[in-house]
Amino acid sequence: MYVRRLLHSTLSQAVKQFPAVLITGPRQAGKTTFVLHEAGKDAAYISFDDPIERRFGSSDPQGFLDRFGERTIILDEVQYLPEILPYLKMRIDRDRRKTGKWLLTGSQQFHLMKNISESLAGRVALLELLPFSVLEHEHQGPHRLERLIWNGCYPEPALNAGVREIWVRSYIQTYIERDVRQLQNIKDLHAFNLFLGMAAAHHGQTFNTATLSRDVGVSLPTVKAWTGVLEASYLCRLLPPYFKNYGKRLVKTPKLYFLDTAIVCELTRQPGAEAALAGAMGGALFEGLIVSEATKVYSMLGKRPDLFFWRSHDGLEVDLIIRIQGKLVPVEIKLTATPTEGHLEPLRRFKALAGKDAAEAGFVVCRIKEEKALPHGNRALPWHRFAEWLFDALTK
């Protein structure tokens, strides 16, 4: 069963405007299925996972490309053959008016982006396909939050809960053995495994590299390099703190979030769905789910996430700050079905500090069943409606 991805509208616009479109994202997020479905059965498809195709493209790039004629061409996992990109550039430059001919996919962000920026700058639209958002697989019926956090949002376990345990374990093992070795020559995989588990234990917390360095027993530069691997392979994202001064955002400590809650549950040895949400990491798992949903909405619209968190000097914190239409919208994320006045104090403080830059309404995203008004112009929003609200707000 194919689930229609909301990135399709952004892709439809991109192929009308650019000669090439590159879709990046984590492994097993559905990039190949998406591109094949959207391009149609007449498109030519080549995967550079295939060593025969890789050798052909490397030894005779012109002959490799000549065989496709005028058809739309899908080049899957293009990071395995970056030397093909200059030849694509030459063909694109022969007729810049021809759009939508080249559809590329890739899974490794940093190395791939470097090659793309050097070869296809100005000729390629860059899009990201992340695992399912609640908006995309809600047709399966109303979600129990516990099951959503436990199964995660990668298509395979999200649509077939029976494979969840073996799929998540295999994904982590393959990630370590394949992506980690390709992105960086890490010799001590035992230490990296320990680092990965410690990073998962810090899911939803400020990312203190010095603490991780000490706990894992590796140098600070090593921790920073390994964090780059987590970001490059789309396993994690760092959420920066909000400061008006842009320079401060770059140097202050960010918060770490894994993109998918099932992977956090596995790495932190959660015993089951209900126990995970009821346990010590329940609040962090819920918060991470909402931050991930915000990231996915931006990605499906082809936008760079404009997301932050805010912490006052005395420790008061707003979990998520979203810039929408030039205004800063504060969002508290709370694992409760009963929002209270106490949940509103961080929103009030932030709005007072931000002044005219702040939106009138702040939000408490929680387990309430229906949206309702709260004091001082704020609102409580059901967690399963958050992505829909953000999508609508960004497309007005």
Least confident of 105-119, 143-157, 281-295: 105-119
Report the distance separating Cα 324 and Cα 386, nearest Å: 14
pLDDT (0 to 100) of residue 307? 97
CATH code, domain carrying 144:
1.10.10.10
Q: Which of 86, 102, 128 is the last residue of a domain?
A: 128
Q: What is the pLDDT of residues 262-309, one digit of tens each?
A: 999 999 999 999 999 999 999 999 999 999 999 999 999 999 999 999
- Out of 1-5, 46-50, 361-365, pick the least confident: 1-5
Claim to verify: residue 234 and residue 320 sit in the same structural domain: no
Q: Are 151 and 165 in contact (CB under 8 A)?
A: no
CA distance 248 to 41: 50
Check: CB of residue 36 under 8 Å from CB of residue 152.
no
Q: Identify whether residues 188 and 272 lie together within a single domain.
A: yes
pLDDT tens per residue, range 228-250: 889 888 999 999 999 876 455 55
Residue 143 is predicted with a pLDDT of 60
* Domain limits for position 264: 139-300
The answer on 341 and 384 residing in a single domain is: yes
Q: Residue 313: pLDDT band by 50, 70, 90 thresholds?
A: confident
* Number of compact structural domains in the chain: 3
Give the DSSP letter string of 48-91: TTSHHHHHHHHH-HHHHHHTTTTS-EEEETGGG-GGGHHHHHHH
Q: Within a 10 A sphere around the Cβ of 247, how many other Cβ atoms?
A: 8
pTM above 0.75, yes or no: yes
In this prediction, residue 139 has a pLDDT band, given cuts at 50, 70 and 90, of very low
**Rounded to an integer, what distance in angstroms lies between the CA atom of residue 310 and that of residue 320?**
7
* pLDDT one-digit tens code per residue, 72-95: 999 999 988 989 999 999 999 998
1 inside domain: no
Identify the pLDDT of residue 118. Answer: 73
The answer to the question of residue 199 being in a domain is: yes
Percentage of the chain modeled with pLDDT above 70: 94
Per-residue confidence (pLDDT) for residue 389, from 0 to 100: 97
Tell me: do 94 and 239 sit in the same domain.
no
Give the Cα separation of 323 and 246 in Å (integer).
14
